[in-house]
């Protein structure tokens, strides 16, 4: 679990709910950072007096200076704020920052406050939607430049977001998806239950034999290097027969994502796969889809899982099986 610098958090929380709007007025990341100035650019300036409904004007003024908005600001009373700058900048600050911070401090009897939570590893662009699921009534802000999420809500809502990050905010790991396409036959005499599989696939061969598959052989092993959480894709042709022209080749397509548990060997694989072609002993037979699947499977790293098994033709008794194995690098 990540360690949070308590001093830094305590300092950040001193401005309470107002920091959660930082991302609404983030500086262009392509521009070099400059010290906070809270000064409007030269040119035609407009003065705007804003009367706040809930927030303290001095706190809002301090927040705007902290965020270095392109305006001059000053608090002239407990709930009166004067903005000086271009009309467009004034309107933007009013519609985003001030509208976000000028909210009641207590809703439904539950005390609300802001907490800045660093996100170490998980894609920051995806955190907002996930956090909203576990804390739908909290106000959320995402500061991509600092890779933090600001949660303005009750203690229970903030606890839910922290618990979410504890589960998902781990370093991205690399993995390999190993696909094994096996050729076999459905039924047949017991003497035909022999297999020609690599040693590590023999346990899988026994499992398939118990379900009616015989004469198993490995068509092709396919290894796909993947990055956890990112979509992968692979496609190609499998030569499964004796036809030199490739008439009995099969075409496959797979895509999906992999997730690995932090600090353990639990893994999850979401996979789509289609296998089809002209694999049939019947002269003039057209193309057919042997199997098409879409599934999410929970497994252990290194385990073999049978995902699909189907006869290529009801007349021939030939069959194709797909076995998958997920390993971490």
The domain spans of the chain are 174-328
Say if residue 4's pLDDT is above 50: no
| Confidence grade of residue 107 (pLDDT, cut at 50, 70, 90) | very low
- Nearest CA to 65 among 57, 76, 73? 73
Q: How many residues does the chain have?
A: 329
- How many other C-beta atoms lie within 10 A of the C-beta of residue 114? 22
Residue 107 neighbours by CB under 8 Å, 6+ apart: 137
pLDDT above 90 coverage of the chain, percent: 14
Average pLDDT of the residues in 106-114:
59
Say if residue 259's pLDDT is above 70: yes
Average pLDDT of the residues in 211-227:
85
Are 273 and 321 spatial neighbours (Cβ–Cβ below 8 Å)? no
SS3 for 311?
A: strand
pLDDT score of 315: 44
Report how far residue 117's alpha carbon sits from residue 194's, in angstroms, rounded to the nearest whole number.
59
Report how far residue 99's alpha carbon sits from residue 116's, in angstroms, rounded to the nearest whole number.
20
- Nearest CA to 29 among 150, 147, 145? 145
Q: Which of 15-24, 145-154, 187-196, 294-303 has the highest mean pLDDT?
A: 294-303
* CA-angle at 5, arms to 103 and 262, nearest 5°: 100
Are 182 and 218 spatial neighbours (Cβ–Cβ below 8 Å)? yes
Average pLDDT of the residues in 68-79:
83
| Confidence grade of residue 188 (pLDDT, cut at 50, 70, 90) | low
pTM over 0.75: no
Say if residue 80's pLDDT is above 80: yes
Strand order in the sheet with 139-143: 113-118, 148-153, 139-143
């Amino acid at each position: 679990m990540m360690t949070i610098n308590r001093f830094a958090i305590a300092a950040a929380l001193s401005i309470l709910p107002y920091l959660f709007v930082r991302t609404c007025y983030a500086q262009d990341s392509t521009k070099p950072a400059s010290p906070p100035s809270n000064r409007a650019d030269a040119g035609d300036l407009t003065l705007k007096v804003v009367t706040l409904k809930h927030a303290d004007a001095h706190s809002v003024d301090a927040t705007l200076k902290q965020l270095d908005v392109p305006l001059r600001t000053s608090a002239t009373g407990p709930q009166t704020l004067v903005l000086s700058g271009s009309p467009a900048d004034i309107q933007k600050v009013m519609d985003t920052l001030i509208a976000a911070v000028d909210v009641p401090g207590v809703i439904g009897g539950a005390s609300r406050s802001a907490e800045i939570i660093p996100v170490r590893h998980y894609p920051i662009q995806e955190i907002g939607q996930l956090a909203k699921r576990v804390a739908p009534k909290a106000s959320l802000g995402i500061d991509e430049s600092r890779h933090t999420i600001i949660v303005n809500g009750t203690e229970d809502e903030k606890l839910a977001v922290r618990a979410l990050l504890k589960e998902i905010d781990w370093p991205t790991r690399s993995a390999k998806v190993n696909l094994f396409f096996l050729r076999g036959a459905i039924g047949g005499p017991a003497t035909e239950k022999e297999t020609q599989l690599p040693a590590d696939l023999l346990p899988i061969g026994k499992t398939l034999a118990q379900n009616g598959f015989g004469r198993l052989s490995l068509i092709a092993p396919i290894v796909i290097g993947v990055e956890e959480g990112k979509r992968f894709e692979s496609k190609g042709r499998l030569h499964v027969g004796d036809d030199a022209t490739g008439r009995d080749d099969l075409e496959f397509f797979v895509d999906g994502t992999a997730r690995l548990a932090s600090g353990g060997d639990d893994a999850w694989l979401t996979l789509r796969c289609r296998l089809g072609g002209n694999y049939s002993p019947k002269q003039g037979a057209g193309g057919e889809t042997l199997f098409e699947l879409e599934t999410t499977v929970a497994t252990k790293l290194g385990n073999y899982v049978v995902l699909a098994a189907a006869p290529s033709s009801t007349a021939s008794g030939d069959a194709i099986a797909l076995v998958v194995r997920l390993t971490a690098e």
